[in-house]
Structure 1
Amino acid sequence: MSIAAPHGTIEARTDRIRFNSVPTRQDISEVTYFPATGSRDEFFAWIREGVEKYGVDGESAER
């Protein structure tokens, strides 16, 4: 899976993706995915990469 972020592209593996909508609309309102990583360290590295590429405050993401 590739996610286009403001400062680059985030690559991830996932084994489940869900496209959510509401009964009153025909478009997709939300996409839910579950990243699949090989280890806890790989998961945290993936989160940190996303924080950097989205421009989110790194300190708040470390809490």
Structure 2
Amino acid sequence: MPKAIKGTVFYTLPEAAQELHITIGRLKGYLDQNRLSSERIGRTEFIREQILRAYMAKRGLTLE
């Protein structure tokens, strides 16, 4: 389940991969290629909801 931190919704990498219907390995490849961006909060890497939505909109997908 996504986490809201100070009004911003964040997805962990496993959650984002599930939404995109891809593996975590492929998602990490997208991050390495700068197709998506993430940020580390503590020890966990997150992707902002608006970044995930924008990426999915480009590909004609919707966030479930």
TM-score normalised to structure 2 length:
0.31
TM-score normalised to structure 1 length:
0.31
Task: Say which structure is richer in strand.
Answer: 1
Larger radius of gyration: 1
Task: Say which structure is richer in helix.
Answer: 2
